[in-house]
Amino acid sequence: MRMMRAAPRRPLTLRRAAPLALAIAACLPGFAQAREISVQEAVVQAQREADGKVLSVQTLNLGKRKIYRIKVLTRDGTVRVVQIQAEQ
């Protein structure tokens, strides 16, 4: 029985390792950068969520986090406060 020789392995170069490293890093939690939404996008999101008319918007900075506090007048006449994180 004749033994087959394995092909010699090529050394791992930066050109070959970079795609693998990016694929692994993309799977790690927190790797993808969060996108900060604008106040206009937050208003649209609050209108959809509460199904009403926006009365006021406040931007709150809590430490490193930015939160939009949006008051919405709902169709049944109640005021609802919706808080939306800027980083999505």
Residue 74: phi and psi, rounded to 5, are -80, 170
The structure's pTM equals 0.61
Given this model, what pLDDT does residue 34 score?
Answer: 74
The overall average pLDDT reported for the chain is: 82
Fold of 34-88: Nuclear Transport Factor 2; Chain: A, (3.10.450)
Q: Residue 39: CB partners within 8 Å, gap ≥ 6?
A: 57, 59, 68
Residue type, 8: P
Q: Low-confidence residues of the chain, pLDDT below 50?
A: none
Q: Are 88 and 68 in contact (CB under 8 A)?
A: no
Residues paired with residue 70 on neighbouring β-strands, in sequence order: 57, 82
Q: What is the pLDDT of residues 38-56, one digit of tens each?
A: 999 999 999 999 999 999 9
